[in-house]
Amino acid sequence: MYLLKGLSIGNKHYVYDGVSGTIFSTSKELSKHAYAIRSSDRDSVITALLNLGLKRSTATKIYVEFFNNLREHVSDVIDISDIAFYQQSSLDVFPNSDIIPEQIVFCITENCNLRCSYCCYNDNYNLTRGISTKSMPISIIQAVVDYLPTPQVKEYTFGFYGGEPLLEFDLIQRAVCIIQKKFPLSDFSMTTNGTLLTRDVVDYLVAKKFYLTISVDVNQDIHDRNRRFQDGAPTYNLIINNLEYMKLKYPDHYSSHTQFRATILDPNDWVTVDKSTNLNISTTSTVCHNSDDTMTIPEMSEESKAILDASYRLVHDELLQCSPESILSLSSKAQDLFKVLSIIHCRIANSNHLHLGGICNPPGGRKLYVDSHGDFYICEKVDYALKIGSYLTWIDKDLVKKIIIDFVSFKLKHCSFCWVNKLCSLCFSSLLNNTGFVIHNNECNTERIKLENSLKLYIEIIEAGKVDLLDGISKWINEKRY
């Protein structure tokens, strides 16, 4: 079986096969109609092309080109409908011993000093945990640290999450002391709203080399529209003022250990990003699949599309001119493409697996989320779904295996005939709601568009002879600490 996708870059035309992971050069006609070809059977292919309204002579010509010039590029592969094979291939990454995570994220508190309009923990969402004064007992952190063995490959990263984690700054300092006593070379990260980044707090976080992700929404107008204190007061100016101290006193840490995440409700807002703040903003979506509420996302205007297309071309040119040694000097928008380019580069080279999406595999192996009660989940985005253990019993391998098998079965049922199935980065949390795994058409369509554009960029990088750039990007993604 073939899952072909035609790709055109200027006057050059290509086909990507989603089963084998192969990319090859083609004629314009084959690239344009490749999606209709699912097998090498002559009659089936020609019938499919005739059903598109093509003349028989054109359909025959396309088939001859496919059979004579292209089929040699596609190696024999196991049919994607072989569920037993794909369940096993997905479990190949499953360790025989205990699952030991690379990154441990502690929900240090469920409390928050803001009441953001779109927050999945606010009162608009009935199926998430909500905001409370619950904080994590230090005994849970101690128990998790005690259980962890000496790292074999790279040091652990310990993250602090909320709520707003800096509401429990004293607890964070106690946790860091416990962690550094056993793992003195460990890394630390934190997701924060930035309102509590006082000078004393910044001095401490820099001294401990924390990687920081700070939530700032595009510009002052959009940010203050959605991200306010409990009493309704705006927060943007306070955050920017807090950051000025870090930028001035610790410029190296600010540039290497700090990133900013914007939540975009309206895609047209992205083009209004406030350049005056020089924030290295990465976008994120606002979708809470554990909710029974529906959020309507506006259509992007043609003007906004044109602005973003121009921005993409600048990023495209920036990447093509880059060397592996200078990838960290690229703009934030260029670095936003690193993850998807890394996924394409690694998965095309390992095309005989049905990848689970995302990078946190096996569940609990890349990242472990510990909630304020000490229960274990695959990440902080799944709320109270997909529990995989607790600090009292550690990670339950049977629960992890069940999640993998259920997810693979779901993908085989719904994604087998989608050309992006082996490149798709939609993870467990992206396809989850309160009843289990579900298809979200808007997310799937966005993923296909993103991968089509990224595959074109990938082809151009390969044809420019810059495989070392892709190797460098993949290495950086693998080592990234936040």
pLDDT beyond 50 at 170: yes
CB 195 within 8 A of CB 114: yes
Q: Are residues 67 and 171 in the same domain?
A: no
Sign of CA dihedral 118, 124, 126, 129: positive
Q: Among residues 315, 330, 355, which one ends one of the domains?
A: 315
Cα–Cα distance, 65 to 63 (Å, whole number): 5
Task: Quick: pLDDT tens for 47-80.
Answer: 988 998 989 999 899 888 887 766 566 654 445 4
Q: What is the CATH number of the domain that holds 169?
A: 3.20.20.70
What does the pLDDT look like over 10-44, one tens digit per residue? 899 999 988 778 888 899 998 999 888 877 788 88
Are residues 59 and 191 both part of a single domain? no
Q: Are residues 117 and 51 in the same domain?
A: no
The share of the chain scoring above pLDDT 70, in percent, equals 77
Q: Do both 150 and 192 map to the same domain?
A: yes
| 56, 155: one domain | no
Does 37 fall in a domain?
yes
Q: Is 118 helix (H, G, I), strand (E, B) or coil?
A: coil
Domain that holds residue 18: 4-73
Measuring CA to CA, which residue among 374, 349, 379 is closest to residue 363? 379
Residues 117 and 263 in one domain: yes
The reply to whether 177 falls in a domain is yes
Residue 307 and residue 173 share a domain:
yes
The confidence band for 192, taking pLDDT boundaries of 50, 70 and 90, is very high
Helix or strand run (H / E) with residue 87: helix 83-91
Q: What are the residues whose beta carbons fall under 8 Å from the beta carbon of 339, sequence distance 6 or more?
A: 359, 425, 477
Q: How many CB atoms lie within 10 A of CB 15?
A: 24
170 and 38, same structural domain? no
- Which of 84 and 314 is assigned the larger pLDDT? 314
The total of structural domains in the chain comes to 2
Whether residue 239 is contained in a domain is answered as: yes
Q: What is the DSSP string of 148-166?
A: PPPPSSS--EEEEESS-GG
**Residue of 61, 156, 125 whose CA lies nearest to 366:** 156
Nearest to 450, CA basis, from 430, 471, 424: 424
Residue at 164 is within a domain? yes
Is residue 89 in a domain? no
pLDDT at residue number 331: 62
Indicate the pLDDT class of residue 85, thresholds 50, 70 and 90.
very low
In angstroms, the CA 345 to CA 437 distance is 27
Last residue of a domain, one of 315, 333, 367: 315
Domain termination residue (choose one: 296, 315, 334)? 315
- Quick check: is 273 in a domain? yes
Q: Are residues 146 and 224 in the same domain?
A: yes
* Residue at 333 is within a domain: no
**Does residue 193 lie in a domain region?**
yes
Q: Does residue 7 or residue 20 have the better pLDDT?
A: 7
